[in-house]
Amino acid sequence: MNFAIVGCGFIAKKHAAAIDKIDAAKLVAVCDKDPATMEFYKEEYDAEPYTELEQMLGEEDIDVACICTPSGFHAPIAVQIAEAKKHIIVEKPIAMTVEDTDKITNACKANNVKLAVVHPNRFRPVVQELRKIMDQGLLGKISHASCIVNWNRNQEYYDQAPWRGTKQHDGGVLMNQAIHNLDLLLWFMGTPDQVFSMEATRFRNIEAEDVSVGTIKFNSGALGTVEASTTVYPKNYEESITIFGEKGTVKIGGTNALNFEHLDIMDMSDNEIEDLKESIKADPWGTPGHQWIIEDMVNAINKNREPAVTGEDGKNVLKLVLSFYESANQNQPVQF
pLDDT digits (tens, 9 = 90+) for 51-63: 999 999 999 999 9
Asked if the structure places residue 259 within a domain, the reply is: yes
Same domain, 133 and 163: yes
Q: How far apart are CA 125 and CA 130, in angstroms?
A: 9
Same domain, 192 and 242: yes
pLDDT per position as a tens digit, 210-255: 999 999 999 999 999 999 999 999 999 999 999 999 999 999 999 9
Q: What is the pTM of this model?
A: 0.97
Instruction: Please state the rounded mean pLDDT for residues 96-109.
Output: 98
pLDDT of residue 267: 97
Same domain, 103 and 164: no
pLDDT of residue 253: 97
Q: How far apart are CA 27 and CA 23, in angstroms?
A: 11
Domain limits for position 99: 2-113
317 closest CA partner among 13, 108, 101, 75 = 101
Same domain, 208 and 101: no
Mean confidence (pLDDT) of the chain: 98
pLDDT per position as a tens digit, 281-326: 999 999 999 999 999 999 999 999 999 999 999 999 999 999 999 9
pLDDT band (50, 70, 90) for residue 125: very high
Q: How far apart are CA 45 and CA 314, in angstroms?
A: 29
pLDDT of residue 133: 98
Percent of the chain with pLDDT over 70: 100
pLDDT of residue 161: 94
Same domain, 48 and 108: yes
pLDDT of residue 175: 98
Number of helical H runs and strand E runs in the chain: 12, 14
Q: How far apart are CA 324 and CA 293, in angstroms?
A: 27
320 closest CA partner among 206, 228, 207, 250 = 228
Q: How far apart are CA 276 and CA 261, in angstroms?
A: 12
pLDDT of residue 317: 98
Determine whether 211 is exposed, middle or buried from the number of CB atoms within 10 Å of its CB (0-12, 13-18, 19+): buried
Q: Do 226 and 246 touch, CB atoms closer than 8 A?
A: no
pLDDT band (50, 70, 90) for residue 190: very high
Same domain, 128 and 257: yes
Neighbouring residues of 49: CB distance < 8 A, sequence distance ≥ 6: 29, 30, 31, 32, 35, 38, 39, 41, 42
- 3 state SS of 2: strand
Same domain, 98 and 130: no
Percent of the chain with pLDDT over 90: 100
pLDDT of residue 243: 98
Same domain, 220 and 144: yes
CATH of residue 78: 3.40.50.720
Same domain, 324 and 254: yes
317 closest CA partner among 165, 192, 156 = 192
Same domain, 129 and 103: no
pLDDT of residue 22: 98
Asked if the structure places residue 293 within a domain, the reply is: no
Q: 308: how many CB neighbours lie within 10 A of its CB? A: 18
pLDDT per position as a tens digit, 150-174: 999 999 999 999 999 999 999 999 9
Which residue intervals of 162-212 are DSSP H helices?
Answer: 173-176, 179-189
Same domain, 109 and 130: no
Structural domain count, the chain: 2
Q: Do 122 and 290 touch, CB atoms closer than 8 A?
A: no
Q: Is the dihedral of CA 52, 55, 59, 64 positive or negative?
A: positive
Determine whether 97 is exposed, middle or buried from the number of CB atoms within 10 Å of its CB (0-12, 13-18, 19+): middle
Neighbouring residues of 55: CB distance < 8 A, sequence distance ≥ 6: none
Structural domain ending residue among the three candidates 61, 78, 113: 113
CATH of residue 158: 3.30.360.10
Contacts 24+ apart (CB under 8 A), 260-268: 260/126, 260/129, 265/133, 265/138, 265/139, 266/138, 266/140, 267/138, 268/138
Structural domain ending residue among the three candidates 113, 146, 162: 113
In 32-74, the DSSP E strands lie at: 48-50, 64-67
pLDDT of residue 120: 97
Q: Do 211 and 202 touch, CB atoms closer than 8 A?
A: yes
Q: How far apart are CA 77 and CA 94, in angstroms?
A: 12
pLDDT of residue 145: 98
